[in-house]
Each structure stands twice: as structure tokens, then as C-alpha cells.
Amino acid sequence: MIRFEKRESTSTSLKILIPTVSIILGILIGAVAILLKGINPIKVYQALLIGAYSSKYTFSETLVAATPLILISAGLIVVFKMNFWNIGAYGQYIMGAIFSSYFAIFWSPHIPKLIMLTVMVIAGMVGGALWAIIPALLKAYWEVNEVISTLLLNYIALFILKFLMYGTWRDPLSHGFPLSKPFPDNAQLPRIIPHTRVNLGLIFGIIAVVVVWYLLKKTKFGYEIRVIGENPNAARYAGMNVAKNIIIAMIISGALAGLAGMVQVSGIIHLLQIKINPDYGYTAIIVAWLAYLDPIVASFFAVFLGGLASGAYQIQITMQVPFGIVGVIESAILFVLIGSEIFMRYRLVFDVGKKKHSGQEETL
Amino acid sequence: MSGAHHIVLIALFSAAVQSGTTLLYPTIGEIFAERAGILNLGVEGMMIMGAFFGFVVTYITKNPYIGFLAGVLAGGISALIHAFVSITLRGNQVVSGLALTIFGLGFTNFYGQKWINLRSPVTVSQMSVPLLSKIPYIGPIFFKQDALVYTSYIVAIVMWFILYKTKVGVHLRATGQNARAADAMGVNVYATRYWWTFFGGLLAGAGGAYLTIAYAPFWLDGMTAGRGWIAIALVIFAMWDPLNAMVGAYLFGGIDALQLQLQAVGVTIPSSLLNMLPYLLTLIVIIIATLIVRVKHISAPKELGIPYNREEK
């Protein structure tokens, strides 16, 4: 008979082993999916690797895709620590892009660059934070389920973006395409590696990771959200203000997602359009979980999943492999990861010809 | 009121029932999964699987009913992944459900490319119910529909009966409220949760299949467009009751049908704002429903989302 037995402590090696195995199995399941479509998976993965990591330029594109993932996942880790399910980074990212674009589109191109970019950074963070405060308030005061409210707000944000892009924000010179006028130079984030699209946003991401790490490890706020996440009732008994902490955590999470949206429009595409890749908001959830909510570890997984995304864009064009393969691989990774957490808390015991034990004190 | 207005209104409400049917099936399914204590946020993913397989099998067999069954099964099989991860492996149900949604959307994008924009060669035919279809207003709205709509009425009523009037329903509710007590009553908690999670997937698949077989008989990438999330919201609106789910589903079907109608007649409101309406109203309704649920002291099943471990005392 096989059964699970409780572990006294979680081993660190499992924290490395399980995500690694999850990724390997995810890639294998992806290979089966590709094979079923009648395509050679080895060729696809080869092309994907080349498309993601082979040259300085392709690796820079991986970093470009990793940047929003680093920013968003750093913020998500703060709220996930307290078991608050912000699924709304998608919408917060869009609002950040919209708020910051307003200044790029409607303010003078002659404003000094430093002032313009500072305003846009703040606007992006405010836009994301405002969109995040709505579900935080609803949850904190009325106990409205945040999974549902954040998700619905994603769709609402997307339609606001469409409304603007088919309306007054559309460039009259765009021949009817839903594009804003191109951002002037003073509204473009400087690029930090020549001949690539890697921009200041990556530095923002690194700063965000350090700040979040410090917040979680070294401050009273970090301590409180951990306690709330583990046992909200105990937190209340201890006199912690749960509502206040939810709101602060969501402001941080939303602001970082909004900043990611700002970085995308100001640092990468240099205009506002409907396709600004808000799906980073969902991928960042996977990043945060793979890292077991550690912001520093998360930045490495962001580079991995960023590579998967940028490699997949390449093979979509060169090999006609639909981008959906990323979803198949990512979901397989998540299923294995979530399903394996039981091994962190329990060990497998094979009772062969032994009488049944009472459990806990047993060691192999 | 002139005759023409009358016909327009009947057509609008009739479309509301059809749009509502795509929501009614998944909402009832999720009600039963949640009643058993399993939160499955993968409804969107299961629906798109049902929509895709429903469409493809209908297209190939030219029989919408076989297609519908294929869609139903696709939803159910997808749900089994979530059941295994959250029941047997006791994994986090929120993340597992999200993974299921990512899976469904990715899978159908990956395999669906060559079906995009194809139209279904057949669709389900309308059949009037004798006598009932003659009732003024009600008849033409509810009883001049297709067989899959009638099936959804039967499912809602039968499931209400099972939930409140049978031993199966007692056991199901006990499992979601207090799994240990249910276990002591002799209920097999794992089997109960597996079955109702599977059932939830079957109905999510049904909602998706109805979308591509009857309501919008073609295939577009990601065409469920958030209906799965609206269905999850409707579970709270319905207060975990299958008959209330009908009210919620048709209300939102109505808003959906209305915004399409307004776009069709070319009102000056931008289509993006009209498209936003169902999501915005769901958000408002879910806030109101949450407040009502609190005042009335109705709560979600107490052990919703909490894994059960028989050996742990």
C-alpha cells in the first residue's frame, strides 16, 4: 500500500528539484502535443532555443520579454504571500499603459525628457494601482471575491483600451488602424544595451525585486502579510489591520503591473495600440509560483519564461507553430508544480508486508 | 405596441435564452463542484475545450448532437486533470484552476488554427413544444427553441431536485460543508468530489459546445471570451442554487443579446463600450450579490477549496 506521511520540515533540495522536474515534464508534454500535430518536436525546440538564447540579439529579446514578467511577478508575490489572489495584473498593466500614454500623446514633445519620463512612470504606477485598489477595497470591506473582481476588471480594462484606440486616441494618420501617434523622443525610455530593445525598464525590474525582497524580509509590513497569509484570524487577534494590509499590498502589486505596462509602451513599442501583450499578467502568476514566492528566484524564472515566449514568437513565424504551445507547456508546468507540492509536505511511504503505522513519528 | 416592435422584442428575448444557455450549463456545473467543496476556476478552459471539440466533431460528422456530446466529454475530461491535482494530490485549487484555463486556451489555439472562421455545415433545428409554445410571450421565448435549450431546462430542474430532495444531494452538501463529518456518515468524500468535479466539467463543456453548435456556429480563437468567468460569478449570484442560476444566466444572456442587437441596428454608442457591458454588469451584480449573501447569512460551502485528507486527524 502506498500512502502519504507528514514531513516535519520542508527540504530545500525539493524546492529546487520540484520546479526543475516540473519544467522538464512541461517541456515533454509540450513535445507530445507538437508530435500529435505531426511536427518534429526536436526541431521546434531547437528553433525555440535558437530564437531565445543563441545570439546577443535573441537573448536581448528574451530580456525584453522577461522585464514585464520581473516587474509584475515581484508585485504579485506581495499579494500572494497574504493569499490574496490578484489575477488582475493583465488589467492593471493595461491601465498603466493607458495612463502613461496620455502624457506621451497629449503633452508637448518639447518638455524635457527627464520630466516627461518621470511623469509617465508615476502615471503608469498610479494607473495600475488605481485599478488594483478597486478589488482590494471590495475585498477588504465587503468580502467580494477578488478572483472574480480582478478578472472582470481585466476585460473592462481591455475594452477601455479598445474604446480609446478606436476613438479619440487614434492617430488620424494611422489609416484607420487602432494606433496612437508615435511617441516623441522625450517619451521614450532610454535603451541601455546598444542595438537592442533592452531599456531602462530592466533596471526598474531589478530595483523592484530588491525593494520587494527588503519589504518582505526586513519590515513589519512583510511580517504582517506573512502572518495574514498563514492565519488571518491569528493576525486579527494580534491586532493587525488586515484591510489596511490588503490595500497596501494591492497598491504595490498594481503599481508594479502598471509600471510594466508603461515600460512596454514607452520602452518597446513607442506608441499605444490594442496589442500590448497584457498576457504577461497571467504568465507572471506562473513565474511567482515556480519561485515559491521568492522575488529574487522569480527573476530567473522570468528570464526562462520570457525566453519561452520570445522563442515561441520566432517559431510562430518561421515554422508556423501556433503560439498556443506556450499555454500548453506553461499549464503542464503549473499542474506538475502544484501537484508536487504534496511531496513538500508529505513523503511517500510504501508499506510492503508491514503492519500499518500511526504515521507522524515514522522515519524511513 | 405595434406588431413589428413585438416581433423584435420576442426575437431579442429568444436570443437572450440562447446566449443564456451558454452560461446556464457551466453555472450549474460549477455550483455542483463547489457544493462538493471543489473550487474549479478552470471553467473558461473547459468551456473552450467543449466549444472546440463540439465544433470540430459537428463539422466532421455533420451531426450537431454527436458534436454536442463530444464537447460535453471534452469538458469533463479536462476537469479530471483539476480533480486529480486538487483531490488526490491536494494541490492549490486556485492555481490549478487557472492552469486549466491556460491549458484550454493554449490547446485550442495550438490545434485550432486550421478551423478558424470555418462555419458549421449544420446546426440544431428549432422545435416548438406543443401547447407550451402557444402561451403568449412565454411560449415563443422559451418554447420555440432547440433541443439543447430544452435539455438545459431539464438539467436545471432535475439538479435542483437532486440537490435538495435526495440522499445524493444530502451527501453532496455534507461533503462541501464538513468533509470529515460526511466521511463519518459513510460518504466517500474522494469519490463524491471526483464525480461532481467531473460533472462540472461535463456541463462547462456543454456550455462551450452550445456556443459553437447553436449560438455562434463557427470557430474563432478564444471565442468563449470570458463567459467561463461570468459563469463563476453567476454561481455566487445564484447562491449555489441551480434554479436561481436560470435567472442569472438569462439576465446576462439578455444583456449580451441586447448589446449585439444595438450594434446590429447601428446605435452611436461605440461597440467597445457595448461589449464591455456584460463584464461591467457582472461586476456590479457580484458586489450586490455578495452583500445580499452576507445579510442573509448564506455562505459558500464551508470547506470550499480545502483539500481533504482522510488520514490526518
What is the domain-level CATH number for residue B160? 1.10.3470
> Are A71 and A201 contacting, i.e. CB atoms less than 8 angstroms apart?
yes
Which residues from chain A sit within 8 angstroms of residue B96, using beta carbons? 334-335, 338-339
* H or E, element range at B197: helix B189-210
Nearest chain A residue (CA) to B280: A156
**Inter-chain contact A327–B311, Cβ cutoff 8 Å?**
no
**Which residues, in sequence order, are bridge partners of residue B146?**
B126
Which residues from chain B sit within 8 angstroms of residue A325, using beta carbons? 106, 110
**Inter-chain contact B41–A282, Cβ cutoff 8 Å?**
no
Confidence of residue B270 (pLDDT cuts 50, 70, 90): confident
Q: Look at residue A275 and tell me whether its pLDDT is greater than 70.
A: yes
Confidence of residue A361 (pLDDT cuts 50, 70, 90): very low
**Which residues, in sequence order, are bridge partners of residue B218?**
B119
| CATH number, span A54-320 | 1.10.3470.10
Q: Which of B300, B253, B261, B240 is nearest to B281 (CA)?
A: B253
For residue A168 the three cell numbers come to 479619440
For residue A190 the three cell numbers come to 532610454
Which residues from chain A sit within 8 angstroms of residue B298, using beta carbons? none
Of A142, A147, A159, the CB nearest to B287: A142
What CA dihedral angle connects B212, B215, B217 and B222, to 10 degrees? -50
Q: Which of A1, A5, A2 is nearest to A359 (CA)?
A: A5
> What are the sequence ranges of the domains in chain A?
1-39+321-364, 54-320
Cα B292 to Cα A24: distance, rounded to the nearest angstrom: 47
pTM: 0.91
In a domain, B307, yes or no: no
Which residues from chain A sit within 8 angstroms of residue B233, using beta carbons? 148, 152
Cα A305 to Cα A278: distance, rounded to the nearest angstrom: 15
Residue A360: how many CB atoms within 10 A of its CB? 12
Domain extent at residue B144: 3-295
Q: Does A87 touch chain B (CB under 8 A)?
A: yes
For residue A12 the three cell numbers come to 530545500
In a domain, B282, yes or no: yes
**Inter-chain contact B290–A147, Cβ cutoff 8 Å?**
no
Question: Tell me, what DSSP letter sits at residue B215?
Answer: I
In a domain, B135, yes or no: yes
In a domain, B205, yes or no: yes
pLDDT per residue as tens digits for the range A116-175: 999 999 999 999 999 999 999 999 999 899 999 999 999 999 999 999 998 889 888 888
**Inter-chain contact B109–A327, Cβ cutoff 8 Å?**
yes
Q: Provide the 3-class DSSP secondary structure of residue B75.
A: helix
Q: Provide the 3-class DSSP secondary structure of residue B119.
A: strand
Chain B, residues 279-308, CB within 8 A of chain A, namely 279-280, 282-283, 286-287, 290-291, 294
State the best of A149, A331, A348, A351 to mutate against chain B, taking most chain B CBs within 10 Å.
A331
What CA dihedral angle connects A82, A88, A90 and A96, to 10 degrees? -90
For residue A206 the three cell numbers come to 531589478
Which of B25-38 are b and which e, b meaning 16 or more Cβ less than 10 Å from the residue's Cβ?
bbbbbbbbbbbbbb
For residue A6 the three cell numbers come to 507528514
CA distance A112 to chain B (A): 35
Mean pLDDT of A327-332: 93
Question: Tell me, what DSSP letter sits at residue A293?
Answer: T
Q: Look at residue A18 and tell me whether its pLDDT is greater than 60.
A: yes
Nearest chain A residue (CA) to B269: A163
Q: Look at residue A358 and tell me whether its pLDDT is greater than 50.
A: no
Distances from the Cα of A248 to the Cα of A53, A56, A128, A242, angstroms: 38, 39, 13, 10
Which residues from chain A sit within 8 angstroms of residue B271, using beta carbons? 166
Q: Does B117 touch chain A (CB under 8 A)?
A: no
Cα B141 to Cα B184: distance, rounded to the nearest angstrom: 47
Confidence of residue A8 (pLDDT cuts 50, 70, 90): low
In a domain, B306, yes or no: no
Average the pLDDT over each of B32-41, B55-64, B135-144 and give the range with the smallest value: B135-144
Cα B180 to Cα B175: distance, rounded to the nearest angstrom: 8
Higher pLDDT, B253 or B4: B253
Higher pLDDT, B309 or B100: B100
In a domain, B132, yes or no: yes
Average the pLDDT over each of A73-87, A220-234, B100-114 and give the range with the smallest value: A220-234
Of A145, A338, A342, the CB nearest to B96: A338
Cα B13 to Cα B141: distance, rounded to the nearest angstrom: 6
**Inter-chain contact A324–B81, Cβ cutoff 8 Å?**
no
What CA dihedral angle connects A79, B93, A286 and A85, to 10 degrees? -20
Domain count, chain B: 1
Q: What angle do CA B299, B304, B305 make, to 5 degrees?
A: 145
ipTM over 0.85: yes
**Which residues, in sequence order, are bridge partners of residue A169?**
none
For residue B313 the three cell numbers come to 486527524
> Are A97 and A112 contacting, i.e. CB atoms less than 8 angstroms apart?
no
**Inter-chain contact A159–B110, Cβ cutoff 8 Å?**
no
Confidence of residue B265 (pLDDT cuts 50, 70, 90): confident
**Maximal C-alpha separation, chain A:** 82
